[in-house]
Chain A
Amino acid sequence: MSILTLDGVSKRFGATEIIRGVSLEIEAGENHAIIGPNGAGKSTLFHLISGRYTLSSGSINFKGEPIHNLAPYEIARRGLARSFQVTNIFPRLSVFENIRCALLWSEGYRYSFWKLLGKQQSLNAKARDMLEQIGLADKADLPSGELAYAQQRALELGVAVASGAELIMLDEPVAGMSHSEAENAVALIRRITAGKTLVMVEHDMNIVFDIADRISVLVYGEIIASDKPENIRGNKQVQEAYLGEVITDDNA
């Protein structure tokens, strides 16, 4: 059963059409990677799904309901969370507060100004638990802006996942990391997104083929293939457009 359906999604900026009629089905529970050369429109597609940009035409359905006219916060409340390519956290809040804020809405606190956070034991336990999972428990009280880069990326991931969303979209989660940091990050992604639907944009093909159940290839705003990793590898059109060298090098 598909949890997210894109149907003829287009996005124009002025005369330039960045996304040109993308149709895509994401199955519940799968790990789906979106790959493509620079400038193909991967991040734009993410922004369209998460509500940061509005569509020029087409429709997006999440759990059977249209979400393409909703504000980002309304989409997030329905259980679709995302991370960002450039680390996007609350820099002056402590690491713990970052996670706790991400939990607030799904835990039903809404805009409460009569409940004291310090007394919400189940909420605080959940926040601490998430800190353990992302390996930042010992940094809980540090302002998050002072974390090292890889730690900020882990926090970014934690903020996205903490909301209890069913579908998690990660935009280049390991970009800019060293090899060992990336390995840790991949292990972390596997661990904390287990049982959830994952849609990710990533450039590192080792990681893509390692994590993804299915891969969609986006070239110049169009999906040219959407299939299992082994079929994508063998797909002539994909190799020509984008992958050829990378894949053969990797498998040499």
Chain B
Amino acid sequence: MKKHLLLWAAFAATLIILPSIFDSVLGISILNQMTIWIIFALSYNMLLGQGGMLSFGHAVYFGLGGFMSVHALNLIADEIFVFSITLIPLIGGAVGLLAAIFIGSFSTRKAGTVFAMISLGIGELIVASSLIFVDFFGGEAGVSGDRTYGPPFFGVEFLQDSEVYYLGAFWLFVATLLMYLFTQTPAGRMANAVRDNPERAEFIGYSTRRVRFISFCAAGLFAGVAGGLFAINYEFITEENLNALTSGRVLLMAYIGGLGFFIGPIIGAIILTLMNSLLSNYTELWMLYLGIMFLFTVIFLPRGFAGFIMMHRLAWQNGRLKLLALPYCLTAIPAAAFVTALVGLIELSHAGDEGLHFFGIALSSNSIVSWLLLFALAAASAFGVKLTRARLATAWQAANGASN
């Protein structure tokens, strides 16, 4: 129990000091995005990781919460309803919850393919509606608002991104804590049981439909909270924020981070936000790299990055983690070289006539030497990985073997 309190205190402290470390405009902007995506990814994991419901339409609740929140900002600006914008995430959450109650009432009858297909269908339905109900969704242009109206919150008017960050961090902390606590309740635990074995859950007295419905509603609520934060942060929202692209992105975040662990989606949201914000400055092909990373995760790290970290628990408990350090480094060097060569090849084929400046070397897609250089590096480093892998495997065995 004490350990838990310490962990949450550390989480709060991290949230408070982060903007002092990453204090650039870009840094704050990325942190703001992270608060939104972490909540959204955690809410998605209530469905897939904890409840065994594969949804292709979770952005619906995020987006509806976001749209209503932008409208709420406008109501505040027009002085029709006047309240502090710090409460906007509650509006988003309420809308997400209401939408989830309505849709969940029929979509949670079954898990598996039926649930997945209904979620896809609802997603398409809402996207189609967004072009029909232009007053609410604003058509293709979306709707925009202004967060600086309304009564100041203890003198804070949210003119600065850093002020928005602390608002987001507060809601991130509250939402994360509540979602964690949910996993520790009878409803949360039965969600795991229904995920594992719906039939048996019925025979110990639980309606699987009701258990799923409760998780579904909670997931909708927190997705709506994330949508509310999105509205505050960006001050506009479009159809893109509730379509399949956004639903797919949150699935990637949860999966890459690791579905089986509470912290997994947090890691996934951080990785994807960083890729989205930073990698996109360097290459327009960042989506391609994201796709490759997703494939890599599915094939080699089915339990995600969190699962990869947790794989080392036994070695750590045995006090043998240091056995792995050198073999990891020896494999990582050629592996990094291989990735570099691969990226070089991809970028060179995309570079056109201007050529490519790659780590200070001028490469040209018309020069056979450039191609050969990259191919040679790829082949050599792949061979290097193959050579060092055996040693890593042996070290892994030694680190995880029965302790004497």
Contact = CB atoms under 8 A, between A and B. Distances in A.
B205 A113 contact: no
B260 to A, nearest CB: 8
A117 B202 contact: no
Interface in A121-160: 159
Contacts of A93: 189, 192-193, 196
B193 A115 contact: no
A117 B1 CA distance: 13
Of listed B201, B203, B211, residue having the most chain A CB within 10 A: B203
B187 interface: yes
B188 interface: yes
A105 B208 CA distance: 13
Interface stretch (A10-18, A96-104, A177-185): A96-104
Contacts of B281: none
B203 A106 contact: no
Interface stretch (A60-68, A84-92, A191-199, A229-237): A84-92
Interface stretch (A69-77, A209-217, A242-250): A69-77
A31 interface: no
Contacts, number: 97
B357 interface: no
B196 A113 contact: no
Main secondary structure of the interface of B (DSSP, over half): helix
Contacts of B199: 52, 88
Given A72-B202, A82-B203, A163-B204, A90 B193 contact: yes
A18 to B, nearest CB: 20
A117 B184 contact: yes
Given A73-B206, A105-B205, A115 B189 contact: no
Of listed B199, B201, B205, B208, residue having the most chain A CB within 10 A: B205
A91 B197 contact: yes
A90 B210 contact: no
B185 interface: yes
Contacts of B196: 90-93
Contacts of A116: 181, 184-185
A114 B197 contact: no
A89 to B, nearest CB: 7
A105 B203 CA distance: 11
B205 A163 contact: yes
Given A76-B203, A88-B199, A117 B192 contact: no
Of listed A73, A84, A117, A163, residue having the most chain B CB within 10 A: A73
B185 A90 contact: no
Contacts of A77: 205
Contact of B190 (A71, A91, A104): A104
A113 to B, nearest CB: 4
Interface string B1-14: 10000000000000
Nearest to A98: B193
B101 to A, nearest CB: 14
Nearest to A75: B203
Given A91-B196, A116-B181, A76 B190 contact: no
Interface of B: 1, 181-182, 184-190, 192-193, 195-197, 199-208, 210-211, 214, 218, 260
13 contacts: A76-B202, A81-B203, A82-B203, A90-B197, A97-B193, A101-B204, A104-B186, A104-B204, A111-B211, A113-B187, A115-B185, A117-B189, A159-B200
Interface of A: 50, 52, 71-73, 76-77, 81-82, 84, 88-93, 97, 100-102, 104-106, 109-118, 159, 163
Top 8 A-B residue pairs of the complex, sorted by shortest distance between their CB atoms: A105-B205, A113-B187, A90-B196, A72-B202, A109-B186, A76-B205, A73-B202, A112-B186
